[in-house]
Structure 1
């Protein structure tokens, strides 16, 4: 079972309630995030998202109706953050997390361990984990197909973004070409690279 700690982004960038909204927006842009956990001391007290910071089509940063008015002309994270905030434990099941995020239209969930924020799971993290799982499934299927050509210890198969890389520790070129054809026929494989690999003398 894949858990939140296996897919979360870390180290996590956080802000405090006293961080200015403008600084929070700069952090989101600089790191390519869609949300930042808000911490006070060691505790998670909220989350500030792109939606929290964008109040109108012009993108001005000022309090929304119903939010606390800033004590000064400078808007703070506490004035716009979403609270309370849902979070995950580090052992939360990724499949359950994905279902919850889709169902409840959540884009980011902080991961908390012992009261401290240790990471954040985003939809992008889940997508990346899903692609890695697909690549591993493809590699496993290619390895099964190559068993038709020769014993499994002859081949080393890896797949990244649908591109299969076959290292052949044998010397028969025709076998290698057949292996490449079999790999290319596996649904989901975008391209195949097959090359001779000299066995490690040790």
Structure 2
């Protein structure tokens, strides 16, 4: 799985056996969650950021915090200053753990309920997909990466999901984190695409204090 690039093969994977989640319509006047009007860090993101800075857990590296409930990614520089935020697309199924051995399986063998974006602390590393395009590995073993948004199947409407004002329709991937292309080029490629960095993925089912116990302990 980790040698396959999800956007290229996505149209072959969901097929007619999986119902694509609908794009959630926004009430009139609702502000967009686009790259131009990004989501602000929530309470858990702020709490984790404070713990990271207190413990210096990021080891002087740039880092990102992914809030799965809000379907948002926040990028910080090595000094801990917030640089930018964006809405993201995440794994189709809610869950905080990757299925053991999933990185060695073909994408077509991965069931809908197994398509999760794992929570935890990850040391990211630059990578390249089969098409020669750079990506950022979150968890190489589980084949989870951050990469640019690319069209897959027209019915998935990934661009519309990314721009919608609600996080409820942002669950569509096999586990990878999709970001706008311009955001990737401006904020991720310079900091995460050339060296190791840290990526903290907030849980959506387990307590924050359980996943990041060492950081959040008094």
The question of a shared fold, defined as TM-score above 0.5 by the shorter chain, is answered with: no
User: Which has the larger helix fraction?
Assistant: 1
Question: Higher relative contact order at CA 8 Å, sep ≥6: structure 1 or structure 2?
Answer: 2
State the structure with more CA Rg. 1
Shorter-chain TM-score tier: under 0.3
TM-score (norm 1): 0.24
